[in-house]
Amino acid sequence: MKSTIIVSAVQQPCDKDRQSNLDFSIAQIYEAAANKADLVVLPELHLGPYFCQNEDYQHYQLAQPIPGPTTEILAKVAKHAGVVIVSTIFEKRAPGLYHNTAVVFDKDGSIAGKYRKMHIPDDPGFYEKYYFTPGDIGFKPIQTSIGKLGVLICWDQWFPEGARLMALAGAELLIYPTAIGWDRNDSKEEQQRQLDAWVTIQRSHAVANGIPVIACNRVGFEQAPDSDSGIEFWGNSFMAGPQGEIIMQANAAETKLLTCTLDSARSEHVRQIWPYLRDRRIDEYAGLTQRFID
């Protein structure tokens, strides 16, 4: 990674039409570039409302190929602004085969790589298994002009294995585009527990691997189709350093462009004084490849 990089995360509402949401994202990218950002991260599936709140085959019309219309636009923006961009897109890979895919654009406008979401949830309001095939690229960092980026997506953020494998493969930064929120029927106490767990687990990935984390969530209420229910996306996007320290964080309601500077020398120093990778007992971890140990 460059000795220092300036990173930005766009916490935005995504409840409008595709063009309006994309225009907003692009405006934020240019604002970040004006602040000399090297990297801009956008929320998960930022092109539209979170359509996985119900199962409806008509939503497949939202999918697009990669490369495709949106990647062509963002590639031009990346080149013109001179920034690395992380965007997630509902990918149509083939008829009947779809993925939730992160695309990384380098500063020259090229597609540096992509990552297909590996862990696919299936919960009330988050019916992603209906739409997305689990990723088949694996946990491979994406090489860019600013370093190796370990890009994962939302539900992936709860699994330490994915973060560890990215780190072992050389990721210098963990990035989690996200769409996560509350059920308004939950108590305030339960909502706080959920948020605390979300922040804690991702900070722990920074600690356990000695590298920074960027978590970029959407914000605002999105009503479920044909229902009085919906999801209150809880924002709280943040950047954490290699010891899990919060460098910058948004609140639960604001639209905000977060920007901070990361120092690769600090990550290296942290790994020297907390040598978790050195002391791993890989000879005793065979059980991790089993579903359950009787």
Which amino acid makes up residue 76? Answer: K
User: For 231-240, what is each residue's pLDDT tens digit?
Assistant: 999 999 999 9
* CB neighbour class for 286 (10 Å; exposed up to 12, middle 13-18, buried from 19): exposed
| 44 flagged as catalytic | yes
* CB neighbour class for 205 (10 Å; exposed up to 12, middle 13-18, buried from 19): buried
Q: For 66-81, what is the mean pLDDT?
A: 98
Q: According to the model, what pLDDT value does residue 103 have?
A: 98
Q: Is the pLDDT at 109 greater than 80, yes or no? A: yes
Q: Which range marks the domain in which residue 122 is found?
A: 4-280
**What CATH code is carried by the domain that includes residue 202?**
3.60.110.10
Q: Of residues 92, 107, 114, 117, which has the active-site annotation?
A: 117
Q: For 120-143, what is the mean pLDDT?
A: 97
**H or E, element range at 98:** strand 97-105
User: For 27-72, what is each residue's pLDDT tens digit?
Assistant: 999 999 999 999 999 999 999 999 999 999 999 999 999 999 999 9
**Lowest mean pLDDT across 80-84, 227-231, 259-263:** 227-231
Residue 293 domain-assigned (yes or no): no
Residue 98 domain-assigned (yes or no): yes
Q: Is the pLDDT at 280 greater than 90, yes or no? A: yes
Q: Is the pLDDT at 1 greater than 80, yes or no? A: no
CA-closest candidate to residue 257, choices 241, 240, 237, 242 = 237
Cα 253 to Cα 282: distance, rounded to the nearest angstrom: 43
Residue 243 domain-assigned (yes or no): yes
The residues that bridge with 92 in the sheet, in sequence order, are 98
Cα 213 to Cα 164: distance, rounded to the nearest angstrom: 13
| 107 flagged as catalytic | no
| 52 flagged as catalytic | no
Q: Of residues 107, 154, 172, 222, which has the active-site annotation?
A: 154
Looking only at the bridges linking them, the beta strands covering 147-151 and 173-178 are parallel
Residue 65 domain-assigned (yes or no): yes
Return the number of other C-beta atoms located less than 10 Å from residue 177's C-beta. Answer: 31
Q: Are 237 and 218 in contact (CB under 8 A)?
A: no
Q: According to the model, what pLDDT value does residue 28 have?
A: 98
Asked whether the whole model's pTM tops 0.85, one would answer yes
Cα 82 to Cα 85: distance, rounded to the nearest angstrom: 10
Q: Is the pLDDT at 2 greater than 80, yes or no? A: no
Cα 18 to Cα 20: distance, rounded to the nearest angstrom: 6
The residues that bridge with 234 in the sheet, in sequence order, are 219
With cut-offs at 50, 70 and 90, classify the pLDDT of residue 228: confident
Q: According to the model, what pLDDT value does residue 263 have?
A: 95
Residue 285 domain-assigned (yes or no): no
Is the backbone peptide bond immediately before 67 cis, with ω within 30 degrees of 0?
A: yes
Residue 290 domain-assigned (yes or no): no
Residue 287 domain-assigned (yes or no): no
The number of distinct structural domains making up the chain is: 1
Share of the chain above pLDDT 90, in %: 97
Torsion-angle region of residue 160: left (phi > 0), alpha (psi -120 to 50) or beta?
A: alpha
Q: Are 222 and 231 in contact (CB under 8 A)?
A: yes
Order of all β-strands in the sheet with 147-151: 142-144, 147-151, 173-178, 213-217, 238-240, 246-249
User: For 172-212, what is each residue's pLDDT tens digit?
Assistant: 999 999 999 999 999 999 999 999 999 999 999 999 999 99
Rounded to the nearest integer, the mean pLDDT of the chain is 97
Cα 152 to Cα 249: distance, rounded to the nearest angstrom: 19
